[in-house]
DNA sequence: TTCAGTATTTTACTCATGGTAAAATTATTT
DNA sequence: AAATAATTTTACCATGAGTAAAATACTGAA
């Protein structure tokens, strides 16, 4: 059947709008009740529809969850990749600045939407041990991998250009990523469900200075 | 009703044996299928009994889980507390040794039973965001708190005795705990379900050296 | 405007799983 | 051997993810 282009357009807009409504409701409910506690019926009710309609837009609860945090992790990957490019094209004069920038990327990503970031943490925690699957979930994992590779490339390039001491690249990358991740979790758990721990920034800063002392030759 | 002491004894032994069988089966199944994937029926089948019998010994799945990892976290708390006592009673001559010992405690706890440790990580991850409750779970949380306090006391005492530089105690403690925790998770996620990541030890060592450089005055 | 065809949404389910009440079984004391 | 107490199992409930099919709303052509 042929359809008028104007109509096709409107339909696509409506679909996007509904997708947005679902995501918005999902975010709200999941923030309130955490992933496990948020039921699909809750989310549907929040969006003013019924459960099966959600399944018209998202294949599973996991994929809905993944779609929610996708923009955040994409932005993270992009920012890290930008630093990588800058290091590789010799834009940086000091290793210190690289480390500061990397930590700022982490922190900015967190600060720009702490609620969403909290969901991101939950996604990693739940996803890793409750065997999630599905297209969207794989996508997130893939982008996560990109973050990791960007991190490795940054360290590797910085070492090659003499901006960092001759450290072991995988160990350093694992340490940076792992410590950031762990600190965020610890602060979040200590602080509870609402708001940002006021300690997060200073503790990350502490780690940043530690790394600078260890990695940068003066 | 009065019972002969020998019989009472045997009954207690039988109860302990069954408890042990359930825990063993639970460990096996949870390692295979992770917490969420392990059903109570699975565990019961593994122990050669039926589900309701488990509920005779453990109030909820959460408590069964908690009972599983309790010995591990108690041992961790004890070891940290021993270091605390040693620092406070001036047994340590160097800050370096303190940091090495703390990291060894972490690593030994992990190495003595990696499978159990993996469950411990899952427990934290799942428990934190799937609102666990119950007596046993509270107990775990309480012991976790003890670990944290021991850590703080160690740093605080070491600073007071001039073994560490004058660092901010909460920030330092959060960093040490968080980075350890994050690194374990990152390595575990990278390495997958089976075995220990060969990177864990070197990455922890990396962090250890970083901390020594930052905290210890030479 | 009305009808045939299509897309979307909802009603009314299924299935899996944590947890439980009550029946059945086994053990213990007299 | 009968009475009683403890333990285990059978048969169930409640909840929540996911789905088939009915119902509704929308689109294009006459």
Which residue from A170, A174, A186 is facing B178, i.e. has the nearest CB? A186
What is the architecture, at CATH level 2, of domain A61-215?
Answer: Orthogonal Bundle (1.10)
Write down the pLDDT at residue A9: 66
Q: What's the gap between Cα B213 and its chain centre?
A: 27
Beta-carbon separation of B182 and A187 below 8 A: no
Among A53-57, B29-33, B86-90, B156-160, whose mean pLDDT is lowest?
B29-33
Write down the pLDDT at residue A4: 55
Domain boundaries, chain A: 1-57, 61-215
State the average pLDDT over residues B101-126: 88
Q: Report in angstroms the alpha-carbon separations of A112 from A32, A106, B88.
A: 19, 10, 42
Count of residues making up chain B = 218
Angle at B197 between CA A181 and CA B175, to 5 degrees: 30
Chain C nucleotides reached by a protein CB under 7 Å: 5-12, 16-22, 28-30
The overall average pLDDT reported for chain A is: 88
CA closest to C1' of D20 belongs to A52
Write down the pLDDT at residue A6: 58
- CA of A49: nearest nucleotide by C1' is C9
For B115, the token pair is 């499978």
Write down the pLDDT at residue B127: 74
The overall average pLDDT reported for chain B is: 88
Q: Report in angstroms the alpha-carbon separations of B190 from A78, A99, A195, B119, B194.
A: 21, 23, 30, 16, 11
Beta-carbon separation of A202 and B129 below 8 A: no
- CATH class, domain B1-57, is mainly alpha
């Amino acid at each position: 059947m042929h359809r008028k282009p104007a109509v096709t357009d409107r339909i696509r807009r409506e679909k996007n709008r509904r997708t947005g409504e679902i995501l918005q409701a999902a975010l709200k409910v999941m923030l309130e009740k955490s992933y496990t506690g948020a039921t699909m019926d809750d989310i549907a009710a929040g969006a003013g529809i019924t459960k099966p309609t959600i399944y018209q837009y998202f294949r599973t609860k996991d994929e809905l969850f993944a779609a929610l945090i996708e923009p955040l992790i994409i932005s993270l990957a992009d920012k890290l990749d930008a630093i990588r490019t800058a290091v590789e094209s010799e834009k940086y004069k000091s290793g210190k600045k690289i480390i500061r920038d990397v930590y700022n990327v982490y922190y900015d990503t967190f600060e720009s939407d702490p609620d969403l970031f909290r969901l991101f943490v939950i996604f990693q925690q739940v996803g890793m041990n409750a065997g999630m699957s599905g297209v969207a979930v794989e996508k997130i994992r893939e982008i996560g991998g990109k973050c990791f590779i960007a991190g490795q490339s940054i360290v590797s390039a910085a070492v090659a250009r003499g901006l960092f001491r001759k450290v072991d690249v995988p160990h350093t990358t694992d340490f940076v990523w792992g410590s950031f991740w762990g600190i965020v979790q610890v602060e979040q758990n200590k602080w509870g469900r609402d708001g940002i721990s006021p300690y997060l920034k200073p503790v990350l800063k502490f780690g940043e200075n530690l790394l600078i002392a260890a990695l940068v030759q003066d």
